């Protein structure tokens, strides 16, 4: 099973950026956590991060070679119809992950343009959310949930 993980803008600043919201792990450490869980579960995980909306859209367009997509669109969640349309154009399972609980924060973060084109959303469970999303993708084919 091959899963693509996309980290959106500013997530390369994890570890330095607002640790009260996002914790102390760097993006490298988060990817290590993802890869460790993936290997233990016979999943081939590919992680990428970009601050560019264009690069993320192009990456989504070519994601149908994977069995599933985990995406933290970061601030683009709240702004990008283009990203939503890109997600709508591919037909693999897609999970939206947010490290912080976006529904508990500023009102502008309560709106997600992207979630309607995803199977579901994990928000507020820290970086463990990525592992939970992998676990879901691994097992979701086994039965109708
Ligand atoms: C975030 C939440 C977004 O509102 C914010 O813009 C981010 C990170 C999260 O993971 O909690 O950059 O997606």
Q: Is residue 12 part of a domain?
A: yes
pTM: 0.96
Tokens describing residue 121: 């959303």
In this structure, the residues whose C-beta lies within 6 A of any atom of ligand 1 are 10, 72, 74-75, 77, 98-100, 102, 109
Q: What was the pLDDT predicted at 129? A: 98
Q: What was the pLDDT predicted at 97? A: 98
Q: Which residue's alpha carbon is at the smallest distance from atom 1 of ligand 1?
A: 74
Q: What was the pLDDT predicted at 144? A: 54
pLDDT in tens, the chain (145 residues): 999 999 999 999 999 999 999 999 999 999 999 999 999 999 999 999 999 999 999 999 999 999 999 999 999 999 999 999 999 999 999 999 999 999 999 999 999 999 999 999 999 999 999 999 999 999 987 665 5
Q: Choose the catalytic residue: 7, 37, 66, 98.
A: 98
Q: What was the pLDDT predicted at 98? A: 98
Instruction: Give me the CATH number covering residue 11.
Output: 3.40.50.9100
Q: Is residue 21 part of a domain?
A: yes
Could you tell me the residue range of the domain that residue 81 belongs to? 2-139
Q: Is residue 86 part of a domain?
A: yes
Q: How many domains does the chain have?
A: 1
Which of 93, 87, 136, 75 lies closest to 114, judged by CA? 87
Compute, in degrees rounded to 10, the torsion defined by CA atoms 10, 29, 102, 58.
50
In the annotation, is 22 catalytic? yes
Q: Which residue's alpha carbon is at the smallest distance from atom 7 of ligand 1?
A: 74
| The ligand 1 atom nearest the CA atom of 101 | 11
Q: What was the pLDDT predicted at 110? A: 98
User: Sign of dihedral through CA atoms 136, 88, 72, 45?
Assistant: positive
In the annotation, is 130 catalytic? no
The C-alpha angle 79, 57, 136, rounded to 5 degrees, equals 85
How is residue 62 annotated by DSSP?
Answer: T
Q: What was the pLDDT predicted at 140? A: 87
How is residue 29 annotated by DSSP?
Answer: H
Q: Distance, CA 98 to ligand 1 centroid (Å)?
A: 6
């Amino acid at each position: 099973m091959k899963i693509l993980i996309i980290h959106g803008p500013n997530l390369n600043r994890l570890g330095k950026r607002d640790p009260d919201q996002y914790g102390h792990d760097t993006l490298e450490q988060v990817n290590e956590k993802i890869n460790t869980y993936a290997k233990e579960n016979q999943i081939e995980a590919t992680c990428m991060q970009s601050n560019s909306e264009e690069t993320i859209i192009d990456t989504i367009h070519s994601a149908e070679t994977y069995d599933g997509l985990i995406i933290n669109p970061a601030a683009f969640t709240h702004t990008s119809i283009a990203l939503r349309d890109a997600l709508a154009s591919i037909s693999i399972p897609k999970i939206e992950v947010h490290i912080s609980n976006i529904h508990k924060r500023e009102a502008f973060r309560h709106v997600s343009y992207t979630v309607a084109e995803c199977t579901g959303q994990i928000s507020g469970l820290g970086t463990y959310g990525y592992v939970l999303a992998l676990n879901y993708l691994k097992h979701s084919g086994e039965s109708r949930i």
